[in-house]
Homo-oligomer: A and B are copies of this chain.
Amino acid sequence: MNCILLPCDNFSADTAYIDDAAQITHVTQVLAAAAGDRLKIGQLGGQLGTGQIASMHSDKIELCDVQLSCAPPKKLDLTVVLALPRPKVLRRLIMDMTALGVRHIVLINSYRTQKSYWQSPMLDRLDEFVLEGLQQGVDTIVPRITLAKRFKPFVEDELAGLITCRAIVAHPYSAQSFAQYVQPSSLALPSLVCIGSEGGWIDYEIDLLAKQGCTAVTIGPRILRTEAAVNVILGQWLL
């Protein structure tokens, strides 16, 4: 938690309060902060800044002299279409994509996505994972999240409308490499990236994505965990 994000309702003039249990634990136990200390805070959907601890109680921390003068970092001009992963890794993937600044996340069904994943209670906790990601990445703007439980209708009817620039689908068996695709470097990075889950995409899915304008590119012979692949690929937008 590299900043503490508070909803708009928790602010009033130049004061604010923290009443979320996880945030209070972070302030008291990880930061070991005391009255008088300044905390890095942000307003969800708004600006970043600091606030000084006025008083601390077990269920509420009052802040005074709140200054919110910094704009959050720019979002990446990027939509990630991700095959719904195992519930166990969903939290970290949503956190990482949010911390990296992805504007729009589409969780999509795929042939190799187990049906049970769509029933996971983790899917009800996406807002919580997004908040964790924003507080990790020091951002205030939530990404848009779309659940696409049916692959074909989403790809055929909605995908093309989301592609504002170029689009790629990560596929270990493509002949074209990511490096070749983005050369010469004067070309813009793609604005939409499709990433499969464990086992990747089947040929039918690659074909359907290609028909909608997604070029298949490989990141090399080494096969990475979904989490690692997402960070490796999205790192290109950061560096």
A179 in complex: contacting residue of B99, B100, B178, B239, CB < 8 Å? B239
Secondary structure of the A contact surface, majority rule: helix
User: Given known contacts A100-B228, A228-B100, is B223 in contact with A238 (CB within 8 Å)?
Assistant: no
- A224: chain B residues at CB < 8 Å are 96, 99-100, 136-137, 231
Shortest CB distance A69–B (Å): 15
Copies of this polypeptide in the complex? 2
- A136: chain B residues at CB < 8 Å are 223-225
A235 in complex: contacting residue of B95, B221, B232, CB < 8 Å? B232
**A2, A137, A185, A228 — most chain B CB neighbours (10 Å):** A228
Say yes or no: A238 contacts B232, CB within 8 Å.
yes
Say yes or no: B96 contacts A225, CB within 8 Å.
yes
CB within 8 Å of B: which A43-83 residues: 73
Say yes or no: A223 contacts B178, CB within 8 Å.
no
Q: For the complex, is A138 an interface residue (Cβ under 8 Å from B)? A: yes
Say yes or no: B137 contacts A73, CB within 8 Å.
no
Please, how many angstroms separate the alpha-carbon atoms of A13 and B136 in the complex? 53
Please, how many angstroms separate the alpha-carbon atoms of A101 and B227 in the complex? 16
Say yes or no: A138 contacts B238, CB within 8 Å.
no
A-B contact pairs, 23 of them (CB 8 A): A73-B220, A73-B221, A92-B227, A99-B224, A99-B225, A100-B222, A100-B224, A100-B232, A137-B222, A137-B223, A179-B239, A219-B239, A222-B238, A227-B227, A231-B232, A232-B234, A232-B239, A233-B235, A233-B239, A235-B235, A235-B236, A235-B239, A236-B239
